Homo-oligomer: A and B are copies of this chain.
C-alpha cells in the first residue's frame, strides 16, 4: 500500500527520468516539485538505485496490466496490435515523454544492476505477450521468421517510432514509422 508521498515521488521521478534519463532526475528536483525536502525522499528510497529500481518495476507492471487487458478486450490480432501501438503513441504524444525503459536501456551500462535486471523483465514481458498473440491468432510466419523474431521486430518498431517522434518533434511521425500492415487480415 504505497503512501501518498511515495506515489508523488514516483510520479515526479518518472516524468524527469523519461526526459533526461538516469542522470536527468535528482532527489532535490523531485523534492522541489512535490514540496518536501530531499532528505525526506531518502526515508522512502534510501538510495537513488532503490528509487530507479522501483520506478522501473512500476512502469513494467503498469504495462503488463494493460497488456492483459488488451488481450481480453480485443478480438482480432490487428486490433490488439493497434491497441498496443497506441500505448506507446499516447506516451509519445505528450511532449517530452520517451519510454522510460527505452531511455534507461540506452544507458544501461551506467545503471545499477538492480535496474538493468528490471529492464530485461520489461522487454521479455513484451516479447512473451506479443509472441503469444501471434501464435494464438495463427499469424502467418514467413520463411526465415519465427513468432519470437516477429515480436522483437514489433517492439523495435515501437521504440524506434518513439525516438523519431522526438527527433522530428511531430506526432504524426509515430504512425508513419509504424507498420502493422502484415497483420491487417487477422
Residues of A within 8 A of B (CB): 19-21, 23-24, 95-96, 98, 101-103, 105-110, 119-120, 122-123, 142-145, 148-150, 152-153, 155-161, 163-164, 166-169, 173, 176-179, 181
With A20-B23, A110-B24, A176-B148 already in contact, the answer to whether A164 and B155 are too (CB < 8 A) is yes
New A-B pairs, 20, CB < 8 Å, besides A23-B23, A108-B166: A19-B110, A96-B109, A103-B107, A105-B163, A106-B166, A109-B166, A119-B167, A120-B168, A122-B167, A143-B181, A148-B176, A149-B176, A149-B177, A149-B179, A152-B164, A152-B176, A153-B179, A156-B159, A156-B160, A157-B157
Q: Are A105 and B167 in contact (CB under 8 A)?
A: yes
The answer to whether A155 and B144 touch across the interface, beta carbons within 8 angstroms, is no
Are A102 and B106 closer than 8 Å at their CB atoms?
yes
Q: What is the CA–CA distance of A115 and B16 in the complex, to the nearest angstrom?
A: 20
A161 and B166 contacting across the interface, CB-CB below 8 Å: no
Minimum Cβ distance to chain B for residue A151 (Å): 9
> Is B144 within 8 A of A181, CB to CB?
yes
Nearest CB of B to A160, in Å: 3
- CB nearest neighbor in B for A123: B167
A120 to chain B: closest residue by CB? B167
Taking a contact as CB atoms under 8 Å apart, the answer to whether A163 and B159 are in contact is yes
Q: Smallest distance from the beta carbon of A5 to chain B beta carbons, Å?
A: 26
A159: min CB distance to chain B, Å:
4
**Shortest distance in angstroms between A72's beta carbon and chain B's nearest beta carbon?**
27
Which listed residue (B19, B102, B145, B178) contacts A153, Cβ 8 A?
B178
Q: Would you give the shortest CB distance from A111 to chain B, in whole angstroms?
A: 9
A102 touching B163, Cβ below 8 Å = yes
